[in-house]
Amino acid sequence: MRSASFTLTQPERTIYRRYAGLALPRHTSYPIVPFWSADYGPTDLSADLQHSVRADGPFSLYIHVPFCERLCYYCACTKEIVPTNKRLTHDPSDTLLEGLDIEARHFAEQIGTGAVRQVHLGGGSPTFLRPAQLEKMFGSLRSNFSIAHDAEIAVEIDPRNTTLEYLQTLRSLGFNRVSLGVQDFSPGVQHAVNRVQPFELVQRLVGWCRSLGFSSINFDLIYGLPFQTLDTMAETLEKTILLSPDRIAFYRLAVIPEIFRWQNVFRQADLPSVDLTLDLNLLAINSLLNAGYQFIGLDHFAKPDEALTQARQEGSLRRTFQGMTTGKGLDIIGLGPSAITQLDNAYAQNCKESESWRQALALGPATQCGLRLTEDDRLRRELIQQLYGHGTIDKPSLANQFGIVFDEYFADELSRLRELIDQGIVVAEANAIRLSTPLGRLLVRVVAALFDRYLPAGAFRTGLSNQQASKVG
């Protein structure tokens, strides 16, 4: 086992602190959602579906199940809390499934005969659906779309309400990837974020997944949570490595109580300091590298033979609202409340509330907002994808793909970039701009913000309001 040394010198720590408090985008899309337009509606989406350069080609499906039985205080996802006792009198899943079937038929009529190469069931808590409801939903998908026999079919799982029967149902339907919401194994941290799930419960679930033949298991972990220390994080990482998931998403907690009002339960005194948050991240990076994982993008890790690592090597890695994923080049069709459709030439988001989404479907697509991309948008999106996925901006590839002279087109950005070069965050070469390791890898959001045309020119120095983005560190 090799010894990783992802460490910062004291001067590098000083530079890191300069940017750590800035609120900047995570760029799960470009442009980011606050810059999409409410004027973009169902008619626009229908037109863009017809004119996407990938029309009739293979694509991905994302299905959003918004319901959860209880609220996790760290959560920034679109969800609706439906306690068990409330569900006894009215199960919202039934109307959700009716709406998903209508929406699937809407899209199937417009997008041609392309094969579905990926399916991702997210939320909320997809395991809120009972096994019979899951079977009904997937039957609707198969009747409306041509799902490839070797498609990647993934689901997000809440370990607290996932049974062996449920996993057996998933496998019988063709699911081959699972993502477990773990977050942290420390009981104190779990109580603070209202998500209590003992290690033994997760361990049992992982054992079931392996015995049933799921090809890939992902863990979602979060750092920056209340009461996390280096000792508790070391224990969480030790237990994670023991269970040996194929992928790990290691997210920085986004604390934006102005938007996520339930986060007001967090006391500033209970949250890790900037320095401790950095050390928690460095501890995880080094621990996972030493355990044989590859560090991919801003916040993902994967084993060397995992599809995510292979996608990085092959150039098919991309950053989406599901994080770092495979399947670059595939349009994503979004079904369900708040779901986002991502085309080569446009983005469209559904109505967020399940009731408004269901009502909108009576008239066609439930589009609430979106954006038709310009050629400049597509160029900068590809540049930012290169930064997050590979840590390098490949100037010749962008010049060839978009017919530009890179240094002329980005003259203003390159002038501002000199500041980050002088600080050792990036390295400029004749044909590439590379993130330094480790400082640049940790501050990739700063570099991406510099190339984001929708942000003020100095945003990479000053940040945005907390209503638009989360802190870097």
pLDDT digits (tens, 9 = 90+) for 169-218: 999 999 999 999 999 999 999 999 999 999 999 999 999 999 999 999 99
Residues 89 and 7 in one domain: no
Residues 195 and 276 in one domain: yes
**Domain membership flag for residue 354:** no
**Domain membership flag for residue 352:** no
pTM of the predicted structure, to 2 decimals: 0.95
**Domain membership flag for residue 302:** yes
Whether pLDDT at 3 is above 70:
no
Joined tokens for residue 347: 């983005």
**Domain membership flag for residue 22:** yes
Residues 84 and 9 in one domain: no
**Domain membership flag for residue 378:** yes
**Domain membership flag for residue 11:** yes
> Taking the alpha carbons of 86, 339, 38, 325 in that order, is the dihedral positive or negative?
positive
- Domain final residue, candidates 304, 333, 362: 333
Structural domains in the chain (count): 2
pLDDT on residue 238:
98
How many angstroms separate the Cα of 101 from the Cα of each of 94, 137, 142, 275, 346?
A: 11, 7, 11, 49, 23
Paired residues of 178 in beta bridges: 155, 217
Can you tell me the mean pLDDT for 345-364? Answer: 95
Q: Give residue-wise pLDDT tens across range 23-60.
A: 999 999 999 999 999 999 999 999 999 887 566 789 99
pLDDT on residue 203:
98
Residues 86 and 219 in one domain: yes
Distance CA 470, CA 455 (A): 14
Residues 191 and 48 in one domain: yes
Q: Which helix (H) or strand (E) holds 340?
A: strand 340-342
pLDDT on residue 50:
85
Whether pLDDT at 312 is above 90:
yes
- Residue 415: CB atoms within 10 A of its CB come to 9
Joined tokens for residue 125: 């808590």
- Domain of 1 in residue numbering reads as 1-34+374-473
Distance CA 193, CA 75 (A): 9
Q: Given pLDDT bands bounded at 50, 70 and 90, which one contains residue 107?
A: very high
**Domain membership flag for residue 168:** yes
Whether pLDDT at 2 is above 60:
no
- Give the percent of the chain with pLDDT over 90: 89
Paired residues of 65 in beta bridges: 123
pLDDT on residue 1:
40
